[in-house]
Amino acid sequence: MKRRKLAFAAVLLGLTGCAVGPNYKRPAAPMSPAFKEQTGQVSVPGSDWKPAEPKDTQIRGNWWEIFADAELNALESQIDVSNQNIAQAAAQFAGARAAIRGARADFYPTINLDGSVTRAHTAATATAPAHTGTIYTASADASYEVDVWGRIRRSVESSVATAQASAGDLETVRLSMHAELAIDYFQLRSLDVEKQLLETNVEAYEKALQLTINRYNQGVVSGIDVAQAQTQLENTRAQSTDLGVSRAALEHAIATLIGKTPANFAIERVATVTPVPAIPFGLPSDLLERRPDVAGAERRMAAANAQIGVAVSAYFPKLLLAAVGGYGSSSVSNWFSLPNRFWSVGPELAALLFDGGKRRSVTEQAVAAYDASVAVYRLQVLTALQDVEDNLAALRILGQEAQEQAAATAAAERAVVLAQNRYSAGITTYLEVITAQAVALTAERTAIDIQSRRLTAAVSLIKGLGGGWSDANLPYGAPPPAPTTTAESTTGSTPSSAAPEKPR
C-alpha cells in the first residue's frame, strides 16, 4: 500500500512539472547597428551629443542634474512625492502586485466552514406520516486542484509579467513627468531671458525717443521721426507684456506637476542662459534595456504568451482532491456526538468532452492577443528609435543654426550702430534706425528661441534614451535576454522553462 501511495505521489509530481502552451522567448525586434545621426556626425561644430564612453559617463537616475541648475533640481525632487499622475500609476502597480498574490493563492487548497439550522416539514406518504423537525449540521470541506497541466503556473507567470509591465508603465510616467517639468522650466527661463532683452530694448528706445523729441524741438527732424520712435517703443512694450501670458501658463503647469496649487506657487524671474550639456548615448539595442515603455511592452508579450498556456490547459482534465466532514443531528443535545458524524474524501477527475468550440475560440483569442502584443512591442521599439534619431538630428542641426544665428545677430547689432551714426550725422531718416533695430531685436529673440529648442531637444533625447533607468530595475527579476529567434507557438505538453517568479 505504501508503495502505491509513493508511486501515485511520484506521478503527480511528474505531471506538475509540465505546463502546456508555448514557453516564452522574446521575439526579435527591428534594430540597426548604429543611429543614423550617430554615424559621421560627432565632429560637427556645435553638436552637443556624443557616443557613450566608459560607464562613469552614463546618465544615471537623477538625469536632470546634468544641466547643473539648482532650482531645477529642487523642483524635480518634488515630482515623485507630489505628482498625481505618478500616484495613479503607482496605485495601478500596487494592484498588479496584489493580482500576483491572488493568482498564487490557487497553489493552496481552499477550506470552507459551514453551519446551519434547518426547520423542515415533510408531507405524509403511504408509508410514513407527516413530519416536522429541525436539522442541525456543522461541516468543513477542503478542495485542492493539482496543477497537472500548469494552468495555475501559467496564470502566475502571466500575473508576474503583467506586474512587471505595470512597473514599466510607472517608470514611463515618472520619466515623462520629470521630462515635462524640465522642458517647462527651460521654456520659462527662456521667456525670462527674452523678457530681459525686451526690457533692455525698451530702455534704449525710451532714450532714443527722448533724443528724437529734443531734435524735433530744435527743428532738426520732423514729427514723423517722433511718431516712428514712439511706435517702436510701444510695440516693444506690448511684446514684453505679452510674454507674461506664456510665462504664467508655464508657471501654473509646473505647480500642477509638483502637486501644488498655482495660487501657492511662484518662480522668481532669473534671466540666465543654461548651456546645453553633452549627452552620452549608446547603441540602438541599448533602448531595449533602457526604455521603460519598451520593457513594459515586452513584459506584456510574456503575459499574453502565458495566457495561451492557460487557454490550452482547458483541453485537459482537472484533477481535484476533495474532503468533507462534519456533524448532523435532529437534536442540539447530541449534535456533535460521534454517531452523527459524516465524512467523505477522494480524488475527482473532471474532463469537458464537448463545448461547441468554446475552448478553441478562447485559445485562438489568446494567440491573437499575443500576436497583437508582439506588434505593439515592435512598434514601441521603432518609436523609441525614432525618438532618439529625431532629437539627435535636432541637436545637431540646432547647434549649427545657433552658430549661424549668432553671426546674424552680431551683424544686425553692427547695422544698428551704423544706422544710428548715419542718423546722428543727418545722412538718413529715423526709419533706417528703426528698421535696423527691429532686425536686431528679431535676431536676438530668434537666438533665444533656438537655445530654448536646443534645451528641449536635450531633455527629449534623455527621455528617448530612457533616462538613467534599466530593465534590471523591474521587480521580481529582469526579463529574459533577447534571442535571435521568434517566439515558439507549440501547444503540446512541454516542460516549463521559466518557473513562476516570486515577489520579494
Cell numbers at 63, concatenated: 538625469
Confidence of residue 503 (pLDDT cuts 50, 70, 90): very low
Confidence of residue 160 (pLDDT cuts 50, 70, 90): very high
Residue 15 has pLDDT above 70, yes or no: no
Residue 245 has pLDDT above 70, yes or no: yes
- Give the angle 24-26-31 at the CA atoms, nearest 5°: 170
- Give the angle 147-483-471 at the CA atoms, nearest 5°: 80
**Which has the closest alpha carbon to 313: 352, 347, 346?**
352
Confidence of residue 125 (pLDDT cuts 50, 70, 90): confident
Max avg pLDDT among 36-50, 108-122, 182-196: 182-196
Residue 107 CA: distances (Å) to CA of 113, 152, 297, 305, 345? 20, 7, 28, 20, 20
Asked if 331 and 414 count as a contact pair (C-beta separation under 8 A), the reply is: no
The predicted structure's pLDDT at residue 247 = 97
Confidence of residue 284 (pLDDT cuts 50, 70, 90): confident
Confidence of residue 119 (pLDDT cuts 50, 70, 90): confident
322 by Cβ neighbours in 10 Å (0-12 / 13-18 / 19+) ranks as middle
**Which has the closest alpha carbon to 208: 224, 232, 238?**
232
| Inter-residue long-range contacts of 220-223, CB under 8 Å, 24+ positions, other chains counted | 220/426, 221/430
**CB crowding 79-89: b at 16 or more within 10 Å, else e:** beeebeebeeb
Whole-number mean pLDDT of the chain? Answer: 86
Residue 361 has pLDDT above 60, yes or no: yes
Cell numbers at 196, concatenated: 530681459
The predicted structure's pLDDT at residue 18 = 75
3-state secondary structure 376-411: HHHHHHHHHHHHHHHHHHHHHHHHHHHHHHHHHHHH
Domains of the chain, residue spans: 21-114+151-314+358-491
**What DSSP line would sit under 312-328, residue for residue?**
HHTTS-EEEEEEEEEEE
**CA 429 remoteness from chain centre:** 60
* CATH no. of 21-114+151-314+358-491: 1.20.1600.10
Residue 378 has pLDDT above 60, yes or no: yes
Cell numbers at 485, concatenated: 529567434
The predicted structure's pLDDT at residue 201 = 95
- Helical packing angle, 223-257 and 430-464, nearest 10°: 10
Q: How far apart are CA 117 and CA 137, in angstroms?
A: 7
